[in-house]
Amino acid sequence: MTQQVVVIGAGVIGITTALELQRRGHSVLVLDRDGVAAQASAGNAGAFAFPEIEPLATPRIMRKAPKWLVDPLGPLSIPPAYALKIAPWLFRFWQASHTAKYQTLLGAQASMMTHSASALTRLITDIDAEGMLQRDGQMQLYEGEPEYRASLPTWELRRQYGIEFDLLESREAIAEIQPGLSPRFTHAGFTPNWMNVVDPKKWVEHLAKVFQTRGGRIERGEARTLSPVEEGVQIGMATKEATAQKVVVCAGAWSHHLANTLGDHIPLETERGYNTTLPQGAFDLRLHLTFPNHGFVATRINDGVRIGGAVELGGLSLPPNYRRADALLRKAEQFLPGLKTDGGTQWMGFRPSLPDSLPVIGTATQTPDVIYAFGHGHLGLTQSAGTAELVGAIIDGQSPQISLTSFSATRF
């Protein structure tokens, strides 16, 4: 079996990339061991978070992290059984927070967000998906003047990069946009151009349907190894082998295992995120709410409410700790008085994250016929359309729309 391009991974990055390559005239097969949107693309918050230009590794986050780590159910957690294994990743994360490095990462992230927002506009038109969007904005909430003042440098960064927002300095101004919040929230920042999808799983399924309608193929299968051959790339699988002229690795939290087979040792780790999705009628939620100092969000999904977030650096093998989802829901009850918490469905997903908060986008070191597109962390949905266009440019031998120096697989 020989395909012009095989995309490994049927999450939002893989399917969006396959659709873009198809649009460019390539014959594309998508290969995934579990099927379409089976992992993090299914249960995330559904946000196109283009205003989130600041990398996670900041000088400020390093000051907060020790306090968060004391609470095993807080915004950031490392299970004791995983602490030693993740130590090298944490060291790189700390290095990325240094001022000079941080400024470089900020510029790269901001350029990626600008490009991805433009690419999404093109994608929405191409697949007729406006009806799957919620253009209601987002509000970040703060408890008291000190917490609000501490957030102002981030808002000033957004201003410098042309992001539209309003700062709200009273409970009354907040209630005009989202009534029913706890009075503990006295200040907020409102980004009116923020978008969400109605359901992230349905979004990826829609992309996959369009891709298949246009002649694309999606098959179940687990890619285990990649090897350069004369015809392109040999893909080693559990029961067979396949050959493709080009391979794009978009396998989320499992991508680094494939990169390892080509000699690229990329420090990908897994941010395990938790959420609970409540049914219709749980709360009159008007827009996406972010509680930045508690590390979680409330968002509308299919007329229900999804409460989720936080970061658990626990790898792929440890069993889920759903007490984290319970803790988020208890906080949401306090923050959203009247929230009905019955009938919820819990979920845990693996966010593929690199220590400098940027994905890997570019060719493998052994062969230009393998292109990496993974490690987007919290921003896979947000940066999916932009990533797809960058991969398309690489495969077609064109200059990418933004500089990919900061996204190279060799940067570590």
Q: Given pLDDT bands bounded at 50, 70 and 90, which one contains residue 1? A: very low
Mean pLDDT of 326-331: 94
List beta partners, residue 368: none
Mean pLDDT of 186-199: 97
Task: Indicate if 207 and 69 belong to the same structural domain.
Answer: no
pLDDT value at residue 2: 42
Structural domain count, the chain: 2
In CATH, what number is assigned to the domain containing residue 130? 3.30.9.10
Q: Taking 90 as the threshold, does the pLDDT of residue 173 lie above it?
A: yes
H helices within 24-144, ranges in order? 40-43, 59-70, 83-96, 99-127
Task: Indicate if 219 and 367 belong to the same structural domain.
Answer: yes
Name the residue range of residue 384's domain.
2-43+201-267+357-411
Task: Indicate if 145 and 287 belong to the same structural domain.
Answer: yes
Task: Indicate if 395 and 284 belong to the same structural domain.
Answer: no
For 171-231, list the strands marked E by DSSP. Answer: 187-191, 195-197, 217-220, 223-229
Residue 146 forms part of a structural domain: yes
Task: Indicate if 344 and 276 belong to the same structural domain.
Answer: yes
Which of 132-136, 303-307, 315-319 has the lowest average pLDDT? Answer: 315-319
Residue 94 forms part of a structural domain: no
Among 51, 119, 33, 57, residue whose Cα is nearest residue 377? 57
Encode pLDDT of 225-268 as tens digits. 999 998 899 999 988 888 999 999 999 999 999 999 999 999 99
H helices within 196-263, ranges in order? 200-213, 255-260
Encode pLDDT of 28-84 as tens digits. 999 999 999 988 888 999 999 999 999 887 776 656 666 665 566 667 788 888 888
In CATH, what number is assigned to the domain containing residue 406? 3.50.50.60
Task: Indicate if 298 and 390 belong to the same structural domain.
Answer: no
Task: Indicate if 330 and 244 belong to the same structural domain.
Answer: no
Task: Give the pairing of strands 166-168 and 187-191.
Answer: antiparallel
Residue 224 forms part of a structural domain: yes
- Choose the final residue of a domain: 334, 353, 372: 353
Q: Is 208 in contact with 29 (CB distance < 8 Å)?
A: no
Q: Taking 60 as the threshold, does the pLDDT of residue 282 lie above it?
A: yes
Task: Indicate if 178 and 275 belong to the same structural domain.
Answer: yes
Task: Indicate if 190 and 277 belong to the same structural domain.
Answer: yes
Report how far residue 275's alpha carbon sits from residue 45's, in angstroms, rounded to the nearest whole number: 9
Encode pLDDT of 358-377 as tens digits. 999 999 999 999 999 999 99
Task: Indicate if 262 and 272 belong to the same structural domain.
Answer: no
Report how far residue 114's alpha carbon sits from residue 117's, in angstroms, rounded to the nearest whole number: 5
Encode pLDDT of 146-159 as tens digits. 999 999 999 999 99
Q: Kindly report the backbone phi and psi dihedral angles of residue 75, in degrees, each rounded to the nearest multiple of 5, phi listed first.
A: -60, -25
